[in-house]
Amino acid sequence: AQKVTQAQTEISVVEKEDVTLDCVYETRDTTYYLFWYKQPPSGELVFLIRRNSFDEQNEISGRYSWNFQKSTSSFNFTITASQVVDSAVYFCALSDTLQGGSEKLVFGKGMKLTVNP
């Protein structure tokens, strides 16, 4: 069965520090997708990134970067020079393809990041 583990439940950093959020997944599928979502205090879930299992290139988007390593089944997320607005709960998720071709997302438990000024 698909499983996502976010070992860290809560992290607190000071503004401008770099922070890495860990994500380890389990799947028997050869083709799958990995995601990160952000849930700010307002409650909505905001899509950050999707990565397919055949693309192990790291990705950078502004202060955000993602490191996908199939060998260790990890998809870690780094925020460089963190800001107070980065404070949120971050979820890693793994796709599980359903009948009909769409994706069910299996979520990790989430990691609460607090960035203090």
Partner 1 sequence: DAGVIQSPRHEVTEMGQEVTLRCKPISGHNSLFWYRQTMMRGLELLIYFNNNVPIDDSGMPEDRFSAKMPNASFSTLKIQPSEPRDSAVYFCASSLGNPTEAFFGQGTRLTVV
Interaction site with partner 1 (CB under 8 A): 33, 35, 37, 42-47, 50, 52, 91, 95, 97-105, 107-110
CA distance 116 to 6: 22
Measure CA 23 to chain center: 6
CB of 64 vs partner 1, minimal distance in Å: 15
CB of 69 vs partner 1, minimal distance in Å: 20
CB of 114 vs partner 1, minimal distance in Å: 17
Q: Report the SS3 class of residue 71.
A: helix
Q: Nearer Cβ to partner 1, position 42 or 57? A: 42
Kindly provide the b/e burial profile for residues 20-33, where b requires at least 16 CB atoms within 10 angstroms of the residue's own CB. ebbbbbebeeeebb
Q: Nearer Cβ to partner 1, position 44 or 61? A: 44
CB of 117 vs partner 1, minimal distance in Å: 27
